[in-house]
Amino acid sequence: MIGVSGIAPLAPTSSLFDQEIVTDGTTTLYSFPLTAFADGAVIKLIVSFTSSGTQHCSYEVNIHKQNNIGLTITPVSSRTYNSMAITFAASGFTGVDLTLSSAVVGVLKISPILMNL
């Protein structure tokens, strides 16, 4: 089992974000729960989307979870091409919503690079 920052094992929680989703060309909203993460968790993600055409985008995102106080989602860097973008929003204090700017078929990849749990 691998530990990130020497604080917590990756296995129980990383699968929530370590995903590759083939989009269906209809759905634009993708939601992920944060209930498995402890209060005070910090998660750093790489999120990318590539379509079968020429629409692409990628982001580095920080998520800070504070139960019953707030959830902060901060895109640190981004690259977009041909009008494709992703917006990130907190779903209360318990989840993250990713919204694609266009309903297109493609691959949405989400990879955790740091989890300070």
pLDDT tens across 23-69, in order? 999 999 999 888 888 888 889 999 999 998 888 999 999 999 886 67
CA distance 86 to 10: 26
CA distance 86 to 115: 22
Q: In the prediction, which pLDDT does 31 show?
A: 92
pLDDT at 81 over 60: yes
Rounded to two decimals, what is the model's pTM? 0.81
Task: Give the end-to-end CA distance of the chain in Å, rounded to a whole number.
Answer: 15
11: helix, strand or coil: helix
Q: Which CATH number fits domain 3-116: 2.60.120.460, 2.30.30.90, 2.60.40.1680, 2.60.40.10?
A: 2.60.40.1680
| Assigned token pair, 29 | 């909203």
pLDDT at 2 over 50: no
* Confidence tier at 93 by pLDDT (50, 70, 90): confident
82: helix, strand or coil: coil
